[in-house]
Amino acid sequence: MEHLSVADAQQCVLESVAVLGAEPVKLEQSLGRVLAEDVRANRDLPPYDVSAMDGYAVRSADLEQVPAILTIIEDIRAGDMPAKAVQDGQCARIMTGAPVPDGADAVIRVEDTQLVSIGGPLLNPLMKQLANRLSPQADKSLVVPHTEEEANGKSNSLLEAVQINVAVKPGNDIRPQGEGMRNGDVVLAAGTEITPGVIGVLATVKCAQVQVVRHPRVAILSTGNELEDMDDPVDPNKIPDSNSYALMAQVQALGIEPALLGIARDDPVELAEYLQRGLRFDVLLVSGGTSVGVHDYVRPTIEALGVQMKFWRVAMKPGHPVAFGSTADTFVFGLPGNPVSSMVCFEEFVAPALRRMMGHARLYRRTIAARLTHNVRQQAGRTEFIRVTLVKEGGGYAATSTGAQGSGMLLSMARADGLMVVPAESTGVAAGEQVTVQLLDGTVFQDDAGFRE
């Protein structure tokens, strides 16, 4: 069988898997999940025209000439309903989010106003004048600035009024009814990933329980006589099982809690038992034993258990002996035993498959362009994934190999910010050339803000 290219193998995997069914989860547990159904608004928001500012609800026609003085007829706080309509020469004090009273068509923010008091003995004549629509032409001598004590409401012997210093158009600083969302409209479509912002919208439409795409149940199995379990005493002749844990963490990074099945010996009977247990899951990741050694029993054993193999070699380094197959209920990835290979194959094949099953539209890790800081030689014919660190450089990044790249050298992976992809047709990359780097976890954050004010 011809070795598949990485792209063809990825396509084969993605064509095989499908989005899983829906399940309900509590809103509090839904972060990172994908909506399985459209979500609609259950009311208009805001429910009526509301003020966008702390200030005064006015009739814009009263402000053709400014400054103008308007009497304050009531106080409307968020949560209150206005009791009175605003007439000519009047306004209502209004807080952000409070409903705009009838008669008013604009809001003036408090910064553009000045509270004034209208003095005691002159109160009655002035009241008359106000009834005739108080305007800037009114006798200004009757109007004095409000003292602080009066502003605090300690004196009620004075008629409250406000001087408005700016003219505004109708609608100024009013958030119209339904501006945020309209009753019945789809506000979140099926397939949306639930981010904190989406959680806010779901809470707004009172979705205490959300229908999301089910998570795949994932099992992880290590194979090999040489492997030492975490709980075993240290034996200098053995190899510690790191794949179970590294793969576990890769699965966890996608938001799934996998089951660790342990270590199966290179024995067809024992292996078959473990594999059968794994075939009860949606996805089974088996590491080791997938190459062509005489004790590499994984492929024949899973085939004997009814797994239909789709491919078992890919033109890539590391990761060449990767295998993929399925039964009616389970997708099986045979990952190479070498720790770096199994992790790279997870990134290239398993992660996109799990993301698709979880309902995500974005399946692949983000890539960036970077400048390679040194020469890299490569044997044409297979895609190479070189572990690199990334350093910001001008507007871009400089990529440097993490060092020795043996597929058993797990530190090369532990130190990496990303996987630099050397395409199969390349025979090498020279220092200074642009390369593509797939970002690994942790690179979503950076050490500076990345912008200057």
Query: According to the binding rule CB under 6 A, does residue 172 interact with ligand AMP?
Result: no
Query: According to the binding rule CB under 6 A, does residue 289 interact with ligand AMP?
Result: yes
Sequence-distant (≥ 6) Cβ neighbours of residue 243 within 8 angstroms? 220, 222, 287, 288, 335, 337, 339, 342
Query: According to the binding rule CB under 5 A, does residue 224 interact with Mg ion?
Result: yes
Query: According to the binding rule CB under 6 A, does residue 383 interact with ligand AMP?
Result: no
Question: CB of residue 286 vs ligand AMP: minimum separation in angstroms?
Answer: 10
Query: According to the binding rule CB under 5 A, does residue 288 interact with Mg ion?
Result: yes
Sequence-distant (≥ 6) Cβ neighbours of residue 65 within 8 angstroms? 135, 136, 167
Binding mask 239-278 for ligand AMP (x = CB under 6 A): x-xxxx----------------------------------
Query: According to the binding rule CB under 5 A, does residue 289 interact with Mg ion?
Result: yes
Q: Which stretch binds ligand AMP (CB under 6 A): 28-36, 97-105, 304-312, 336-344?
A: 336-344
Query: Binding ligand AMP by CB under 6 A: which of 71, 129, 291, 326?
Result: 291
Query: According to the binding rule CB under 6 A, does residue 55 interact with ligand AMP?
Result: no
Give the CA diameter of the chain. Answer: 110
Residue with tokens 């400048």: 371
Q: Which stretch binds ligand AMP (CB under 6 A): 175-183, 201-209, 274-282, 334-342?
A: 334-342
Q: Which residue is nearest to ligand AMP (CB)?
A: 337
Q: Are 40 and 376 in contact (CB under 8 A)?
A: no
Query: According to the binding rule CB under 5 A, does residue 319 interact with Mg ion?
Result: no
Indicate the helix (H) or strand (E) that contains 286.
strand 283-287
Residue 63 exposure: Cα atoms within 13 Å on the Cβ side: 26
How far is residue 326's CA from residue 316's CA, in Å, rounded to a whole number? 22
Q: Are 59 and 108 in contact (CB under 8 A)?
A: no
How far is residue 299's CA from residue 142's CA, in Å, rounded to a whole number? 97
How far is residue 443's CA from residue 441's CA, in Å, rounded to a whole number? 6
Binding mask 196-235 for ligand AMP (x = CB under 6 A): --------------------------x-x-xx--------
Nearer to ligand AMP, 34 or 263 (CB): 263
Question: CB of residue 337 vs Mg ion: minimum separation in angstroms?
Answer: 5
Question: CB of residue 434 vs ligand AMP: minimum separation in angstroms?
Answer: 33
Residue with tokens 């459209």: 38
Q: Which stretch binds ligand AMP (CB under 6 A): 88-96, 248-256, 326-334, 335-343?
A: 335-343
Q: Are 212 and 20 in contact (CB under 8 A)?
A: no
Q: Are 166 and 66 in contact (CB under 8 A)?
A: yes
Question: CB of residue 274 vs ligand AMP: minimum separation in angstroms?
Answer: 13
239 binds, among Mg ion, ligand AMP, none (CB under 5 to 8 A by kind): ligand AMP
Query: Binding ligand AMP by CB under 6 A: which of 55, 318, 339, 359?
Result: 339
Q: Are 383 and 5 in contact (CB under 8 A)?
A: yes
Q: What is the DSSP letter of 63?
A: G
CA angle 96, 98, 102 (to 5 degrees): 130
Closest by CA position to 132, among listed 173, 90, 98, 183: 90
Query: According to the binding rule CB under 5 A, does residue 339 interact with Mg ion?
Result: no
**One-letter amino acid for residue 243 of the chain:** N
**Where does this chain bind ligand AMP (CB under 6 A)?**
222, 224, 226-227, 239, 241-244, 287-291, 293, 336-339, 408
Binding site for Mg ion (CB under 5 A): 224, 288-289, 337
